[in-house]
């Protein structure tokens, strides 16, 4: 009895201790899961007052954020419309990704394929450092320095050329807006470039060297090798990198809040202030007194979560696919 | 279908009329005097390390030359310095000369990218491009060379695959990825890819080391056939392979500074039966290495 | 164009036509790629310069040591607040994250492990404002704007960071190490804690530093929870608390030069902390990789 039950190291009953241990450690995962569930349920529960005065469809497709409206018959209806903030989120993120994806991917290519080791190491270090800077610090710099530079350079230039043809690229040259959706997109681009670079770098590095040699050995230049062999072999992983960065851009709050201007409605031009889902929550929670006001912000939270959740799923699928492909390549 | 034209080196264009409608490589432009490689006092360095030590070697045109020797003796490095592939490794430098038909491949005007079109390469591990089809793999070099005529490309692809003894196995699945083939087929695909751009010289870096014996025999057979048109330099660990496929053999060893050097070279039968150096005799007899 | 068989004599001529164009585009693309790499780094240099130039004049011992209510106002309460909130949150997040990461790697069935991975992915991908919103909706109604609410929000953000890093470093522990211990008859739980986790200790620390670094820099979740205050609160998590990111955000729009300057100076302090933590993590990671 003592031989089978007791542990000769004197640790007590090994089996029972082990299963207790598993339960304790496993419960940590459950705690994490419950927290995520809590995030979702808290938003769903808090948004309920809104759904008693308007429908989810009218929320998602409503183009004005007008709050509660008292009808002539005394009943109250909700008039919260998320379209302007969804527009702001989409536009600023798309601007960011359009700039960050090519720059980030090409920079990663440079670091892996071209940069001499003495240059690659410090450059990589600096890029990683950029990723470590708190977004509020970036926001402060953007609001105090970058935003003004952009206004007086790119924005002015585009507005005075293309802006004459396309109203959505115009601005009043005498009174350019102090904040704009475009600048929010640029700040986001700067913030997500390090992420694109870091992930792309890993992806490009994992392309087997033998493929590069094969193509170079056929009389290809380095750039041809990158274009026809390396980038195609890495495309799935690079898609993952871009999606990851897109998720970050969509959810980024404080830096955007500091440069986008937080104006209601869809601006007529990219060079005018706007609002994103996240910046709306951050700038409106303080005034949210009534249950429907809080609920409307929670409903925005649900929208934001839904988008980032779908992106996480998509990235997972992409990563799985690239792993399968990697198996075939290797 | 437009017939491919082969420009000879003095620039005169010779239109070729081939009855089958397939461009033949065998009898085109193969002036038997081209493809002579001469290495003179060649030394290859990785940073401060001298991996290859003062090698002088004449490689005969339209023949197979095997480079043999124990691992680490710089054979692959030497091979890669012939088409300047070693330059893709940072800090790799060369001293001495490599000449092809009298032209210094390291001359100041010579573009390494073009050198590699004249001197093709087949690698240790089959490396078909995974994002390209079988057809695309063979056509890739032609597209790099600027050939846009689809008829011509498919004619050359077919011809190259036939030369590589792969056509019958893949003709019905040219659109499938090159990576879907077996190892031996992949390596023959890589050979087809190399010969498609009509190089003068083909370098082979242990092309069979990743293959099973049957696939190896097929490749060896192929090498013997290709010898009629190309100068072939092959690095191998396999003594039997060297004696089976090569006309000439160069034996390398590692010096005390760990740099490789040429012990002796000569006709293959002579190296294997009557070497002049004791070191060579020991090696080919399997007593060392 | 037909296939031109290049011969050795062609190599002596400078490439012309198509080959010259290919060569040129190779050079141009090299330049473009170098420019993109530079473009990725230039903002960092601009940012550091700007923050340093504007922040340094406002750095002083009073700035660090005094509270906003003192005659010569400083941000001591925000520094103290940031430290308290971050430490309290890591005390919550580290055990949960490490235990969860270990469980997923060592004990979970493949299906649970893959579900756990997805959970971590989703949590890492969830914008930080939503963690703040969660605490704002759940904790604030009960306890008011408070340190507790901030700790809840920051923990939600830190747990997946610790869990992911734990998973990655535990995976690197060779199976042989565990098996050797188990073969000696040492029970699983002791093996896990004293062998597996000990082996991966420096990696686990890295995960915690990463989480701390994230917690120190977060702003939006703190605005929705701790809210910010001029009072100095020590271990009084029931009341509103101040933190450095809150100071930066609030003072950025202040009307007077002093407060704007303090925002820059605070940003400089936060920047230095973030850089130091990042360098420390890199250093550790490199060391442990070598070892």
Cβ within 8 Å of C, A 255-314:
257-258, 278, 281-282, 285, 294, 297-298, 301, 304-305, 308-309, 311-313
Classify each residue of A96-108 as buried b or exposed e, where b means 16 or more C-beta atoms within 10 Å of its C-beta: bbebbbebbbbbb
Tell me if A67 sits within 8 A of A77, measured CB to CB: no
Instruction: Tell me whether residues B123 and A228 touch, CB distance under 8 A.
Output: no
The pLDDT assigned to B2 comes to: 44
Residue A67: its pLDDT value, please?
A: 86
DSSP C254: -
Residues 38-97 of A with CB under 8 A from C: 38-39, 42-43, 45-46
Q: Note whether A208 contacts B: Cβ–Cβ < 8 A.
A: yes
Burial C183-204 (b: 16+ CB within 10 A, else e): eeebbbbbbbeebbbebbeebb
Chains near A with 3+ CB pairs less than 8 A apart are B, C
Q: How far is the alpha carbon of C33 from chain A, nearest alpha carbon, in Å?
A: 5
> C168: exposed, middle or buried (C-beta count within 10 Å: 0-12, 13-18, 19+)?
middle
Give pLDDT, residue A109. Answer: 97
Interface contact A217, partner B, CB < 8 A: yes
pLDDT at B134 over 90: yes
Domain boundaries, chain C: 80-242
Q: Is the pLDDT of residue C92 over 90?
A: yes
Q: Is C34 on the interface with A (CB under 8 A)?
A: yes
Question: Residue C247, Cβ neighbours under 10 Å: how many?
Answer: 28
From first to last of the 330 residues of chain A, give the pLDDT tens digit: 334 443 444 444 567 888 899 999 999 999 999 999 999 999 999 999 999 999 999 999 999 998 888 888 888 888 999 999 999 999 999 999 999 999 999 999 999 999 998 999 999 999 989 999 999 999 999 999 998 899 888 888 888 888 888 888 888 777 788 899 999 999 999 999 999 999 999 999 999 999 999 999 999 999 999 999 999 999 999 999 999 999 999 999 999 999 999 899 999 999 999 999 999 999 999 888 889 999 999 999 999 999 999 999 999 988 777 666 544 333
- Radius of gyration, alpha carbons of chain A: 26
- Three-state SS string across chain A, please? CHHHHCCCCCCCCHHHHHHHHHHHHHHHHHHHHHHHHHHHHHHHHHHHHHHCCCCHHHHHHCCCEEEEEECCCCCEEEEECCHHHHHHHHHHHHHHHHHHHHHHHHHHHHHHHHCCHHHHHHHHHHHHHHHHCCHHHHHHHHHHHHHHHHHHHHHHHHHHCHHHCCHHHCCCCCCCCCCCHHHHHHHHHHHHHHHHHHHHHHHHHCCCHHHHHHHHHCCCCHHHHHHHHHHHHHHHHHHHHHHHHHHHHHHCCHHHHHHHECCCCCCCCCCCCECCHHHHHHHHHHHCCCHHHHHHHHHHHHHHHHHHHHHHHHHHHHHHHHHHHHHHHC
Single out the residue of A187, A197, A199, A227 nearest to residue A211, CA to CA. A227
Tell me which chain A residues have a C-beta less than 8 angstroms from the C-beta of C18: none
Question: Could you read off the pLDDT of C135-176 as tens digits, one per residue?
Answer: 999 999 999 999 999 999 999 999 999 999 999 999 999 989
With cut-offs at 50, 70 and 90, classify the pLDDT of residue B287: confident
Q: Kindly report the backbone phi and psi dihedral angles of residue A273, in degrees, each rounded to the nearest multiple of 5, phi listed first.
A: -65, 155
Residue of B nearest to A116 (CA): B90
Other C-beta atoms closer than 10 Å to the C-beta of C69 total: 11
Backbone angles phi, psi at B39, to 5 degrees: -105, 130
Residue B123, Cβ neighbours under 10 Å: how many?
Answer: 23
Across the range B131-136, mean pLDDT stands at: 95
What pLDDT is recorded for position C219?
95
3-state secondary structure of C83: helix
Q: With an 8 Å Cβ cutoff, are A233 and B190 in contact?
A: no
Residue B97: HSE in the Cβ half-sphere, 13 Å Cα cutoff: 13
- How many of the other CB atoms lie within 10 Å of CB of B76? 22
Token reading at A238: 């690079």
Give the residue with greater pLDDT, A274 vs C4.
Answer: A274
C232 secondary structure, DSSP code: -
- Torsion of Cα atoms, B91 then B92 then B96 then B101, to 10°: -130
Cβ separation B127–A214 shorter than 8 A: yes
Pick from B111, B127, B197, B206 the residue to mutate for testing the A interface (most A CBs within 10 Å): B127
* Contact map slice: A 109-138 vs B, CB within 8 A: 116-117
The confidence score (pLDDT) of residue A15 equals 73
Is C13 near chain B, with CB under 8 Å? Answer: yes
Tell me the C-alpha to C-alpha distance, in Å, between residue C105 and each of A24, A237, C224: 15, 24, 35
Is residue A254 within 8 Å of residue C220, measured between CB atoms? Answer: yes
- The distance of A51 to chain B (nearest Cα, Å) reads 50
The pLDDT mean for chain C works out to 91
Best mutation target among C3, C5, C25, C33 (most A Cβ atoms within 10 Å) is C33
Quickly state the pLDDT bin for C77 (edges 50, 70, 90).
very high
Percent over 90 (pLDDT), chain B:
69
Instruction: Decide the pairing of beta strands B103-104 and B92-100.
Output: antiparallel
Asked if the C-beta of A194 comes within 8 angstroms of chain C's C-beta atoms, the answer is: yes
Distance separating alpha carbons of residues A295 and A78, to the nearest angstrom: 11
The CB density around residue B62, as the number of other CB atoms within 10 Å, is 19
C partners (3+ CB pairs within 8 A) are A, B
- In chain A, residues with a C-beta closer than 8 Å to the C-beta of B192 are none
**DSSP output for chain B:** -PPPEEE-TTS-EEE---TTSS--STTSS--TT---EEEEEEEEEETTEEEEEEEEEEE-TTSEEEEE-STTSSHHHHHHHHTTGGGGSTTEEEEEEEEETTEETTSTT--HHHHHHHEEEE-SS----TTSBHHHHHHHHHHHTT---HHHHHHHHHHHHHHTT-HHHHTT-TTSBGGGS-HHHHHHHHHHHHHHT--SEEEEESTTTTS-HHHHHHHHHHHHHHTTTSEEEEE-S-HHHHHHH-SEEEEEEE-TTS-EEEEEEEEHHHHHHS-SSHHHHHHHTTS--
pLDDT at position A172, please?
Answer: 78
Please compute Rg for chain B using Cα positions. 19
Are C137 and A115 in contact (CB < 8 Å)?
no
Task: Please judge whether A214 and B123 are an interchain contact, meaning their C-beta atoms are less than 8 angstroms apart.
Answer: yes
Q: Which residue has the tokens 């869990």?
A: C163
Position with higher pLDDT, C253 vs C30: C30
Out of A211, A216, A219, whose CB is closest to B114? A219
Query: Would you call A134 and C270 a contact, using CB atoms and an 8 Å cutoff?
Result: yes
pLDDT, tens only, C99-121: 999 999 999 999 999 999 999 99
Nearest CA to CA, how far is A319 from chain C (Å)?
Answer: 12
CB B71, CB B260: distance < 8 Å: no
Question: Would you say residue B204 has pLDDT above 80?
Answer: yes
Which of C23, C156, C274 faces A134 most closely, judged by CB atoms? C274
- Identify the closest residue of chain A to C31 by CA–CA distance: A110
CA distance B233 to B231: 7
pLDDT at B25: 36
What pLDDT score was predicted for residue A74? 83
| B103/C3 Cβ within 8 A | no
C61 touches chain B (CB under 8 A): no
Q: Which of C 55-94 lie inside 8 A of A, CB atoms?
A: none
Chain B nearest C-alpha distance from A130 (Å): 28
For residue C283, name the pLDDT band (cuts at 50, 70, 90): confident
Residues of chain C found within 8 Å of residue B115, distances taken between Cβ atoms = 11
> Which CATH number fits the domain C80-242, given the four candidates 1.10.3720.10, 2.40.50.100, 3.30.1450.10, 3.60.150.10?
1.10.3720.10
Global pTM value: 0.89
CA distance A193 to B49: 39
| Residue B22 near residue B155, CB atoms below 8 Å | yes
Chain segment B184-199, per-residue pLDDT in tens: 999 999 999 999 999 9
Angle, helices C76-106/C201-217, rounded to nearest 10 degrees = 140
Chain C contact for A14 (CB, 8 A cutoff): yes
CB < 8 Å to B113, chain A: 219-221
Report how many Cβ contacts below 8 Å link chain B to chain C.
80
Chosen from A116, A120, A207, A214 to mutate, greatest number of chain B CBs within 10 A: A214
Looking at the complex, report in whole angstroms how far the Cα of residue C129 sits from the nearest Cα belonging to chain A.
7
> If we measure between CA atoms, which residue out of B129, B127, B136, B229 comes closest to residue B187?
B127
**Tokens coding B35:** 């493809």
- The pLDDT of residue B108 is 85
- The pLDDT tens digits of the residues spanning A112-130 come to 999 998 999 999 999 989 9
* Confidence at residue A178, expressed as pLDDT on a 0 to 100 scale: 84
Residues of B with a Cβ under 8 Å from any C Cβ are: 2, 4-9, 28-29, 34, 100-103, 105, 107, 109-111, 113-115, 117-118, 142, 144-149, 152, 156, 197-198, 200
Query: Among candidates A252, A201, A207, A196, which has minimal Cα distance to A229?
Result: A207
Residue B262 has which token pair? 């040429």
Q: How many residues does chain A have?
A: 330
Distances (CA, A) of A295 to A42, A49, A85, A278, B208: 10, 6, 16, 15, 69
Domains, chain A, ordered by start: 83-329 (1.10.3720.10)
CA B203 to chain centre: 2
pLDDT band at B17 (very low <50, low <70, confident <90, very high): very low
Q: What's residue A323's pLDDT?
A: 62
**Confidence category of residue C54, pLDDT binned at 50, 70, 90:** very high
């Amino acid at each position: 009895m003592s031989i089978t039950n007791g542990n000769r190291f004197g640790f007590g009953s090994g089996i029972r201790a082990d299963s207790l241990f598993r339960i304790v450690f496993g419960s940590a995962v459950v705690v994490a899961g419950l927290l995520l569930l809590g995030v979702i349920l808290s938003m769903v529960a808090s948004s309920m007052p809104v759904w008693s005065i308007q429908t989810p469809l009218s929320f998602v497709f409503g183009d004005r954020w007008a709050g509660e409206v008292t009808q002539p018959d005394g009943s109250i209806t909700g008039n919260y419309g998320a379209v302007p903030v969804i527009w702001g989120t989409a536009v600023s993120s798309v601007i960011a990704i359009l700039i960050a994806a090519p720059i980030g991917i090409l920079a990663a290519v440079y670091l892996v394929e071209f940069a001499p080791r003495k240059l690659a190491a410090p450059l990589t270090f600096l890029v990683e450092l950029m990723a470590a800077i708190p977004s509020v610090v970036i926001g402060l710099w953007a609001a105090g320095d970058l935003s003004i530079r952009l206004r007086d350079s790119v924005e002015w230039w585009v507005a005075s050329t293309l802006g004459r043809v396309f109203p959505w690229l115009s601005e009043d040259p005498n009174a350019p807006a102090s904040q704009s959706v475009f600048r929010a997109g640029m700040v986001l681009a700067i913030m997500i470039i390090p992420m694109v670079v870091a992930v792309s770098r890993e992806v490009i590095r994992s392309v087997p060297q033998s493929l590069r040699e094969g193509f170079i050995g056929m009389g290809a230049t380095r750039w041809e090798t990158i274009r026809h062999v390396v980038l195609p072999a890495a495309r799935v992983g690079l898609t993952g990198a871009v999606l990851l960065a897109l998720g970050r851009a969509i959810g980024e709050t404080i830096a955007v809040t500091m440069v986008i201007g937080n104006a209601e409605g869809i601006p007529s031009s990219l060079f005018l202030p706007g609002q994103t889902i996240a910046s709306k929550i951050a700038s409106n929670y303080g005034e949210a007194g009534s249950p429907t006001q809080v609920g409307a912000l929670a409903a925005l939270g649900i929208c934001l979560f839904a988008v980032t959740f779908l992106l996480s799923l998509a990235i997972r699928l992409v990563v799985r696919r690239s792993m399968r492909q990697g198996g075939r390549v290797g | 279908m437009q017939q491919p034209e082969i420009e000879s080196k003095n620039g005169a264009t010779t239109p070729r009329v081939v009855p089958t409608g397939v461009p033949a490589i065998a009898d085109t432009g193969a002036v038997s005097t081209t493809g002579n490689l001469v290495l003179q006092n060649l030394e290859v360095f990785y940073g401060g390390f001298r991996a290859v030590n003062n090698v002088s070697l004449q490689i005969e045109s339209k023949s197979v030359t095997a480079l043999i020797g124990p691992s680490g003796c710089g054979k692959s490095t030497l091979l890669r310095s012939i088409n300047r592939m070693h330059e893709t490794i940072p800090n790799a430098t060369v001293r001495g000369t490599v000449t092809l038909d009298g032209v210094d491949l390291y001359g100041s005007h010579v573009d390494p990218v073009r050198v590699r079109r004249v001197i093709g390469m087949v690698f240790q591990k089959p490396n078909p491009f995974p994002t390209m089809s079988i057809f695309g793999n063979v056509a890739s070099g032609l597209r790099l060379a600027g050939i846009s005529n689809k008829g011509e490309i498919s004619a050359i692809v077919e011809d190259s695959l036939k030369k590589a003894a792969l056509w019958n196995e893949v003709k019905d699945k040219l659109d499938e990825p090159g990576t879907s083939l077996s190892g031996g087929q992949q390596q023959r695909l890589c050979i087809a890819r190399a010969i498609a751009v009509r190089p003068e010289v083909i370098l082979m870096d242990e092309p069979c080391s990743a293959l099973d014996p049957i696939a190896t025999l097929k490749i060896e057979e192929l090498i013997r056939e290709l010898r009629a048109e190309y100068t072939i330099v092959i690095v191998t660990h396999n003594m039997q392979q060297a004696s089976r496929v090569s006309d000439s053999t160069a034996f390398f060893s590692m010096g005390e500074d760990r740099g490789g050097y040429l012990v002796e070279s000569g006709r293959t039968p002579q190296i294997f039966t009557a070497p002049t150096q004791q070191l060579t005799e020991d090696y080919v007899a399997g007593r060392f290495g | 164009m037909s296939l031109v068989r290049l011969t050795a004599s062609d190599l002596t001529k400078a490439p012309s036509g198509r080959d010259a164009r290919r060569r040129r585009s190779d050079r141009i693309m090299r330049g473009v790629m170098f420019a993109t790499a530079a473009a990725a780094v230039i903002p960092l240099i601009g940012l550091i310069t700007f923050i340093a130039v504007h922040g340094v004049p406002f750095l002083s011992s009073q700035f660090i040591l005094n509270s906003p209510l003192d005659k010569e106002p400083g941000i001591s309460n925000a520094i103290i607040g940031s430290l308290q909130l971050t430490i309290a949150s890591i005390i919550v997040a580290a055990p949960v994250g490490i235990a969860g990461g270990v469980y997923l790697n060592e004990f979970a069935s493949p299906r649970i492990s893959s579900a756990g991975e997805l959970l971590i992915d989703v949590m890492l991908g969830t914008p930080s404002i939503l963690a703040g919103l969660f605490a704002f909706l759940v904790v604030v109604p009960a306890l008011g704007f408070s340190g507790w609410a901030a700790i809840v929000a920051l923990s939600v953000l830190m747990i997946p960071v610790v869990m992911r890093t734990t998973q990655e470093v535990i995976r690197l522990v060779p199976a042989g190490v565990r098996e050797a211990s188990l073969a000696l008859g040492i029970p699983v739980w002791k093996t896990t804690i004293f062998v597996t986790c000990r082996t991966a200790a420096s990696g686990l620390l890295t995960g915690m530093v990463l989480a701390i670094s994230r917690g120190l820099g977060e702003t939006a979740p703190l605005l929705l929870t701790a809210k910010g205050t001029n009072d100095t609160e020590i271990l009084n998590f029931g009341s509103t608390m101040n933190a450095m990111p809150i100071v930066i955000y609030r003072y950025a729009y202040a009307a007077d030069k002093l407060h704007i300057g303090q925002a820059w100076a605070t940003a400089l302090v936060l920047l230095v902390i973030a850089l130091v933590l990042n360098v420390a993590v890199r250093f550790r990671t490199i060391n442990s990789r070598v070892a």
